[in-house]
Amino acid sequence: MYETKQAKDYKKEFIKHIKQQVKIQSWDKSDNKFQKYYVDCTFFFPRIDMDSNNTYKLMLDSITESELVWIDDVQACERTQGIFYDSQNPRVQIEIRPVDFVGIFPTVEHLEEFKSKCITCKRYKNNCSILGKVIEGRIIPEVNEFICSKFK
C-alpha cells in the first residue's frame, strides 16, 4: 500500500504513543498467533467528512509495527463504538482486550470440553489436524455443533 507523508508521520507518532501506553499499562504481548483482540474505538474527528474505515488501517498497521501488542493485525476485531466531531480536540479512544472466544469455540471452557474428548480419540495420537484447525477458527465439515464426526 502506498503511504503518503502524512500517513507515515501519523504512524510514527502513533507508534510512540503505543510504546508509552504499553509501558504505562504493563501490557503483555501474547505469542499466540490465534489470539484475537477486540479493538473498541470511539472517534472524535475534526471534520464531518471523515470516516473511521480509513483510520483503522493506519492504526492497526501501526500497532502491528510497534511489535508490542499482537503479532499481526489479522488478530484485531475492530469495533466502532461511536463517531463524534470535535474540531478543538480530535482524537480516538481505543480499548484493546482479548476476545472471549477461542477459534470456533465461544469460550475457553467449550474448547477444553472439546479437547478433553479429542484426547481420548484414536486419531489424536496420530496427530489429528482437526483440533488444530478449529483452534485456528476454521469451519470444517468434520466438526458440527462442536461434535467431531471423525471421533474413534
Q: Are residues 114 and 74 in the same domain?
A: no
**CB neighbours of 38 closer than 8 A, spacing ≥ 6?**
77, 79, 95, 96, 97, 98, 99
**Shared domain check, 113 and 83:** no
Considering only CA atoms, which of 149, 137, 142, 151 is closest in space to residue 105?
137
Cα distance between the two ends of the chain: 48
User: All 3 cell numbers of residue 119?
Assistant: 484426547
Q: Which residues lie across from 92 on neighbouring strands?
A: 43
pTM over 0.95: no
Structural domain includes residue 129 = yes
Assigned domain for 93 exists: yes
Q: Tell me the per-residue pLDDT of 21-73, one tens digit each, with 9 for 90 and over.
A: 999 999 989 888 899 999 999 999 999 999 898 889 999 999 999 999 999 99
Looking at the fold, whether 56 and 16 belong to one and the same domain comes out as yes
State how many domains the chain has: 2
In a domain, 103, yes or no: no
C-alpha span between 96 and 109 (Å, rounded) = 22
Statement to judge: residues 79 and 116 lie in one domain: no
